[in-house]
Copies of this chain bind each other. A is one copy, B any other.
Amino acid sequence: MAVGWFYLSFYSLWFLGLMCIILTIYWVQLWHGGFAWDGTLLMFNYHPVFMVVGSVVLYTSLLYRLPQSWVGPKLPWKIGHAMLHLLAFILTVLGLVAVFQLHRRSRITNLYSLHSWLGIVTVFLFACQWFLGFVVFLLPWMSVWLRSLLKPIHVFFGVVILSLSIASVISGINEKLFFSLNNATQPYSNLPSEAIFANSLGMLVVVFGLLVLYILLVSSWKRPEPGILTEGQPLLRDGE
């Protein structure tokens, strides 16, 4: 498939991701009073922002889909991939801290809703994925055999974790709106402006996820395996 179409999809993805982040910040800034690292509801506001930035947008850097990463030494790209995901993971953990701190201060039970169960399982898988990926693919003494054994599992769980993150974000926005739009004058069911805004944000996160799935599935955009001449290479050749 043409190089132009790849870059259009790739930059659309980053544009969509940026929009998701901006709209999440705008949502909590405009309707929930902004941010403060103080254990109150203002601290909770970091939760949706860090989760969207960390576990969805930064998580989906798709570095290896860039044809530039297919030539020359692989190590710098591997380090970039690991560093971006480490940053995404740190932000995700900060997102967890934001909600746990609010719960601690307000004596709210941790991890009772399905949203939180799904979310915490996703973060746990993310931690395992990063740690195993670091040990197996970055530490120099690992065997090629072990790397090629883990690679399809690493790729599979890469998609799994993103899917679970997006399902967590959707259930999280839904849950938050039922919490915050629960007064008689402005119930969620009247679709006040916040409801329309945050529902649209949720749908945008879904569109982002579907675009990721599309980019991942186009076989000619995949990094060709070393030594294998496949249909996967026209993109690189077109681009040269």
Contact = CB atoms under 8 A, between A and B. Distances in A.
A213 B177 contact: no
Interface of A: 108-109, 112-115, 117-118, 121, 156, 159-160, 163-164, 166-167, 170-171, 173-175, 177-178, 188-191, 195, 198-199, 202-203, 206, 209-210, 213-214, 217
Contacts of A121: 203
A113 to B, nearest CB: 6
Q: How many copies does the complex hold?
A: 2
Nearest to A163: B163
A74 B113 CA distance: 46
A175 B170 CA distance: 11
A70 to B, nearest CB: 21
| Of A108, A170, A202, most B-chain CB atoms within 10 Å | A170
8 contacts: A112-B195, A113-B188, A114-B173, A114-B199, A163-B163, A163-B210, A167-B170, A170-B171
A83 B198 CA distance: 37
Given A112-B191, A112-B195, A114-B198, A206 B164 contact: yes
